[in-house]
Amino acid sequence: ATPISIMVGVGKAAEYGVLIRNGEALQQAGRLTTVVLDKTGTVTEGRPTATALVAAPGWDERRLLVTAASVESGSEHPLAQAIVDAAKERGLALEPASAFEAIAGRGVRATLNGKVVLFGNRRLMEEHGVTLGGLEAEAGRLAALAATPMYLAVDGRAAGVVAVSDPIKADSAAAIKRLHAIGLRVVMLTGDNRATAQAVAAQVGIDEVFAEVLPGDKSAKVAELQARNEIVGMVGDGINDAPALARADVGFAIGTGTDVAIESGDVTLMRGSLHGVADAIAISRATVRNIK
Ligand code: ADP
Ligand code: MG
């Protein structure tokens, strides 16, 4: 590999908004066999908004949203932001929560008006012995529409479901088509529930889905693919994507993502588009061809 041709390749990629940190990453990009995509903020915009409220008997939508938003006000998670914004848009006043706790890959827990409130996914509810009854079918219906349903429970009883939707980036499907055309397999990796992940995957033509993966297990999924002799590119934006980005043969960070993700990646996609991955691979292959 001549340093000059690598410099030219890195410069060419930069014209496409693809910032490659080193020559090694440029050369590896052309050898990738599988691209792993984080869902939220990578395939989707990463700007979730609340789109459905389903109150359990004895509850109403307003109380459901106020309670969920009050416990989420202590969380930094993008899902929490969507819930708090929805309450504010409706002019609802939040109540002071205490003993706030974020439960990784599951949701949040806090005390509100002397009651223990849980808000998060089915795993969180199951681990706390909350019976979901008919709410589970409602959540399933929303997940099939690619929304993320979250359950609210107060003192161990289910109070309702709040769903958020995150629009798919306009060019995700086209970029994935390009990756297929140049011979790559495309896998999705997400902490979100299986039905939601599969609904998104189906809309953009993803081959395989790893869903309900806990934050600490994402890099092990990349390693699992590597053990199957795949050369793996990982694309992500979140704090919990950082170990998987570092583990991958080439880590691609979304340019608008967290600093931690950008620092863990070999490549930064300044335009936030998955087309940047196909661009990097094409430039890498052209560069390496010229070197030989
Ligand atoms: P990812 O970044 O891959 O989407 P996370 O591990 O951050 O995954 O979250 C996985 C799931 O855990 C979410 O889809 C949601 O159901 C639940 N969850 C995590 N944090 C929260 C939160 N603050 N409020 C409600 N649910 C949450
Ligand atoms: Mg993400």
Q: What is the CATH number of the domain that holds 257?
A: 3.40.50.1000
Its pTM stands at: 0.94
187 — phi, psi (to 5°)?
-120, 145
Q: What's the rounded Cα separation, in Å, for the pair 32 and 187?
A: 13
64/39 same-domain check: no
Q: Do 190 and 269 have their domain in common?
A: yes
Are both 154 and 234 inside the same structural domain? Answer: no
Looking at 139, 165, 191, the residue that finishes a domain is 165
CATH number at 63 reads 3.40.1110.10
**Beta strands per DSSP E along 16-136:** 18-20, 34-38, 49-55, 97-103, 107-112, 115-120
In the chain, the N- to C-terminal Cα span, in Å, equals: 8
Phi, psi of 84 (to 5 degrees): -65, -45
One domain, residues 283 and 175: yes
Same domain for 40 and 55: no
Phi/psi region, residue 290 (left: phi>0; alpha: psi -120 to 50; beta: rest), is alpha
pLDDT values of the chain reduced to their tens digit, one per residue, 292 residues: 688 999 999 999 999 999 999 999 999 999 999 999 999 999 999 999 999 999 999 999 999 999 999 999 999 899 999 999 999 999 999 999 999 999 999 999 999 999 999 999 999 999 999 999 999 999 999 999 999 999 999 999 999 999 999 999 999 999 999 999 999 999 999 999 999 999 999 999 999 999 999 999 999 999 999 999 999 999 999 999 999 999 999 999 999 999 999 999 999 999 999 999 999 999 999 998 865 5
pLDDT at position 291, please? 58
Structure tokens given for 130: 């909350």
Task: Indicate whether 118 and 141 sit together in one domain.
Answer: yes
Q: Which amino acid is at 158?
A: A
CB-based burial label for 260 (10 Å; 0-12, 13-18, 19+): middle
Ligand 1: residue of 39, 40, 42, 77 to mutate (most ligand atoms within 8 A of CB) is 77
Domain that holds residue 58: 49-165
For ligand 1, the distance from its centroid to the CA atom of residue 107, given in whole angstroms, is 6
My answer on whether 151 and 197 are in the same domain is no
Give the burial class of 94: count Cβ atoms within 10 A of its Cβ; 0-12 exposed, 13-18 middle, 19 or more buried: middle
In this structure, are 13 and 146 located in the same domain?
Answer: no
**Domain finish residue from 137, 165, 193:** 165
121 Cβ inside 6 Å of ligand 1: yes
CB contact set of 44 (below 8 Å; sequence gap of 6+): 166, 167, 168, 169, 172, 200
The answer to whether residues 156 and 182 belong to one domain is no
Q: How far apart are CA 60 and CA 56, in angstroms?
A: 8
Write the Ramachandran bin of 96: left for phi over 0, alpha for psi from -120 to 50, otherwise beta.
beta
Catalytic site includes residue 38: yes
**pLDDT value at residue 2:** 86
Which residues does residue 253 pair with via DSSP β-bridges, in sequence order?
236, 268
**What's the pLDDT at 277?**
98
Domain count, the chain: 2
Residue 248 identity (one-letter amino acid)? A
Q: Ligand 1, residues 101, 142, 150, 235: which to mutate, most atoms within 8 A of Cβ? A: 150
Q: Do 140 and 176 belong to one domain?
A: no
Same domain for 229 and 139: no
User: Which of 102, 132, 165 is the endpoint of a domain?
Assistant: 165
Q: Are residues 197 and 267 in the same domain?
A: yes
